[in-house]
Amino acid sequence: MLFSASAALSSTLIAVAALYAGPRIAEVLGLFGRDVHKLDKPVLPLCGFSILPPIFFAYAASSLLMHSLALAALLITAITSCCIGLVDDLFQLSTWEKTAALLLIPLPLAAVWLGEGFVSALTCYAFVVASTASANSLDVLNGSLTGSSSIALAAFLLIALLAPDNEALIASLGLLVAVLVFHTRNAFPAKHLLGDSGSLLIGAVAGACAWLTHSFAAVALAPQFTNAALLTYSAIRLRKNPTYAERPVYLDEKGLIHANTSDNTPSTLVKLLVSKRPLSEQEIVLRIQLLSAFSAIAAVLLCTASSMHFWSLS
């Protein structure tokens, strides 16, 4: 526990330093994006890569001190996902190139889980791919991914403390610290944007943390998986309708977000939330975070009940 607290403190200091260095690095690399859900559509630095340094420290130190192959694999996964996202931010990969790159991300974790059997490794691989894609597909709203992921990671942390499971504890704590620090600049009104380097990193590592923690921990990521399911349904429609190209929501002159009712728009979680009436960006993000909180509570209760049932049987 003392080691976890020391790692958290050190990671926090590194995260703060990386957060302030991020915009300068983004300027050098020319990494900028528009905040499309604002009336003036400000151009902001894409600094999601600044989440990596504190994670690198926490996982590298912990894997060496604990002789943990799982944390070493998680570190490689974090680096790979961030680098792929950074390349996409810089050069705009095609859909097929990005899909192929996403399939590389969970390979280190799957290799470690081969020791548990082929089915376990394949399930881990598929789950992390799904988690990465789900996080990357969530609508770009200020603090939506960082906020919802922080809530899910807090649930993973609590489950790991109750277990107790040191690997899951370090994995969740390392990412939680990094994401919370970044959230201070990504929450409304955002000063930094995640970009693909941040969303892919969060999606991959959060999925791996859920996998390390408990089979029911994934319930905490329900809002992200719901959004991915809606987009998958939309992709099936896309095959039937080649003209499918419009945005799922639009901004009115008052800054409220409306659902686009055209048949040529994808279904997303945000579109579903504004289907009854238009909402402000802050109202939508609050609803996503409430959904995340309910999902996180459900995950903790399910994991606790499952563990109690296991111990009662043994």
Q: What is the pLDDT of residues 181-226, one digit of tens each?
A: 999 999 999 999 999 999 999 999 999 999 999 889 999 999 999 9
Report if residue 309 sits inside a domain. no
What pLDDT is recorded for position 9? Answer: 85
What pLDDT, in 10s, does the model give residues 33-86? 999 999 999 999 999 999 999 999 999 999 999 999 999 999 999 999 999 999
Report if residue 107 sits inside a domain. yes
Q: Encoding tokens for residue 288?
A: 């996503």
What pLDDT is recorded for position 252? Answer: 96
pLDDT band at 240 (very low <50, low <70, confident <90, very high): low
Q: What is the mean pLDDT of the chain?
A: 92
pLDDT above 50: residue 242? no
What pLDDT is recorded for position 7? Answer: 75
What pLDDT is recorded for position 262? Answer: 85
What pLDDT, in 10s, does the model give residues 138-150? 888 999 999 999 9
Residue written as token pair 């490794």: 121
Q: pTM of this prediction?
A: 0.94
What pLDDT is recorded for position 309? Answer: 54
What pLDDT is recorded for position 238? Answer: 63
Domains contained in the chain, number? 1
Determine what percent of the chain is predicted with pLDDT higher than 90.
Answer: 82
What pLDDT, in 10s, does the model give residues 113-167? 998 899 999 999 999 999 999 999 988 899 999 999 999 999 999 999 988 888 9
For 139, the domain range is: 2-216
Report if residue 131 sits inside a domain. yes
Q: Which residues of 228-251 are buried (b: 16+ CB within 10 A; e: fewer)?
A: bebbeebeeeeeeeeebeeebbbb
Report if residue 313 sits inside a domain. no
Long-range pairs of 235-242 with CB within 8 A, sequence gap ≥ 24: 237/266, 238/266
> What average pLDDT does range 228-250 have in this prediction?
76
What pLDDT is recorded for position 239? Answer: 66
Cα three-residue angle 153-140-205, rounded to 5 degrees: 30
pLDDT band at 313 (very low <50, low <70, confident <90, very high): very low
Determine what percent of the chain is predicted with pLDDT higher than 70.
Answer: 94
Region class of 41: left (phi > 0), else alpha (psi between -120 and 50), else beta: left
Report if residue 25 sits inside a domain. yes
pLDDT above 90: residue 5? no
pLDDT above 70: residue 310? no
> What average pLDDT does range 267-279 have in this prediction?
95
Report if residue 141 sits inside a domain. yes
What pLDDT is recorded for position 236? Answer: 79
Report if residue 262 sits inside a domain. no
pLDDT above 90: residue 1? no
pLDDT band at 311 (very low <50, low <70, confident <90, very high): very low
* 1 or 172, which is more confident: 172
